[in-house]
Structure 1
Amino acid sequence: MAKDKQDIVIGLSVIICTYNRADLLKNVLQDVCQQTLADSEFEVIVVDNHSTDQTRAVAESFCQRYPNVRYCFEAQQGLSHARNRGWREARGEYLAYLDDDCQVPTQWLAVAKGIIELQAPIVFGGPYYAFYNSPKPHWWKEKYDAYHSMTYADSASYLEPDQDIHGGNLFIQQAILEKVGGFNPQLGMSGKHLSYGEETELQMRIFKALPEFRAYSDPRLYVYHLVAAKKMTIGWVIRALMAHGRAQYHLCPRNLMRFGIVINCLWRFVELPKNIIIVFFSLVFKRNRSKHPYFQNYLYESHRFREGCCGMLGFIYECVTTSLSTLFRHKPDKMSP
């Protein structure tokens, strides 16, 4: 249901979707509630995605202290469901989606307000940089911080059509989000299930509806994003890259579906075993131990391992399971004799 104009009563709505991370939620709420922008110019909506820890208590403690903070409970598990609940609850002209494991500088919303006043972009955002709350493993290199950061242009500018803003620091006009139907519930995290791609798919739909659309990036609009200890393991890397591969299947252009997607998947079937063999022999027999002193270094830095093994495996898995699901869902009933 479209919102009446009188329902849009504020400039910015910050939406924080969270699931069982009460300790992190407390930290990000403290940051957001200490912005230099006046409290009267923004609201904060905490969307509890069916948490079982102290999330509600933490959120309500901020609601009691800050009149512009609100709490809502979304029982349907899934980040996209939570994000959609957030914009339906919001009263802001612009929505700011912020991850619950972020740290935010005090000028974050003031910078956003300035961008809106000068540019009024449909979608905009800024970089995020890694921060840590646990010791890094012995094999970790400083340059790996870049794998867990996201930067765009060095100066404020509109991005190319094939570039999109990451969902952890994403601002979007509420009217446009409503027009395109919100986030796709088939994509995005769901509980402990890793899944990605919902913000990319959303911006693809905006571009389809508005071909002149370009996302806007400003390096001043930065946040810090937590790299938890579990993310600094090869096991996590494999899971995350497979999840990106699964998302890539759903992000394929619709005109590639059916015959084209089958060819795409078959090509990966052929390439995957070859890539696994090459990675194994390179790791065991050809690894440059001065460049890659630990096996984790080789795997972490190997494009063939990251994209040619993990990403391909995720794509193939999603292709097969989706095809089988579609096949059985549309299986015709047996004809009566």
Structure 2
Amino acid sequence: MNKAEVLKRAHTLERISGVDLRGAVFQNEDLPGMIFDGVDFSAARFHACSLRESVFTDCNFTESVFEQVDISHAKFVGCQFRQAVLEGCVLSEATFDESVFQRAAFRDCRAEQADLIDCDFSGAALRGIALLECNVFSTRFEGADFTDADLSKSTLHELDLQETIFTRAVMRQMALSGCTLSNQTFAGQDLSETQFNEAELSGVDFSGCRMTMCNFSDAELVDVDFSGAQMRNTLFVGATIQKTRFVGATLPQSLWNNVLATDSDFAGAELSMSVFNRGSFQRCNFTGCDLQFADFSYAGLLDCRLDDVALNRTRFHRAVLDSEDIKRRPGAVERDDELFEAELRSA
């Protein structure tokens, strides 16, 4: 079967199997709603075509070129796109399952609500791609380059992203739950409302980032730099934090319940109205912090520096400290009457 015979079967839902279309050129020719199984499209060229709603299983697109192609709503299972080039393509609501894009190049492409499952994008050039509200699971991105990409609202679940490049990428409202992001640099980027819960973060640079309403619950943070970051309403519930810098960060109304923090520096941070209930802080520096209306009830603050902190109705109810002096400073609340009454009722 040749290219002309394949085109005659467009819109018929007939399964096209085992056809050799290596090097074929499809220009302004559409293949929508078709089913391809084991077809070899290697080194083929698609220009201004539509593959919309088509299904491709075990097809080979190695070194193929896609220019201004509509791939939306299509499904690819077990396909090979090694060193393929996709330029100006639309991949919205497409599904890629067990497909390989090693060293593929994407230019000016857009994908909204696409699914990438068990794929391999190792070494892929994804610079400037718009990957919005997409779901990505069990996929490899070693050496992949997302420079200047927009990944907003996408979910990347439990992925190893240590060797992935995110320079100047927009990463707002993402879910990076359980991902490993060690040694990444995001300095100055917009990561607002992104979820880092249960993530592994070692040696990460978030300095100067916009991170309002981010979530680091149950994450592991070691030698992370949040200096100067804007982090209003951020969650650190149950997180483990070691040797991490929050110097000059803006963290009002943040939540630190049950956190375990050691050897970390909060000097000059804005922590007003933040809650630290039952958190454990050892050898941490809070010098010059704004702690107005903060709540350290039931927290532990051992071998911590609390010089020149701003207090105003700051609660230390049953907090454990090396010295009780801070509980007697102006603006400190040593005993919270409501909590005390609740303790009596539950006794």
Quick check: TM above 0.5?
Answer: no
| TM-score w.r.t. length of structure 2 | 0.22
**Structure number with larger C-alpha Rg:** 2
Q: Which has the higher contact order (CA 8 A, sep 6+)?
A: 1
Q: Which has more helix, going by share of residues? A: 1
Q: Which has more strand, going by share of residues? A: 2
| TM-score w.r.t. length of structure 1 | 0.23
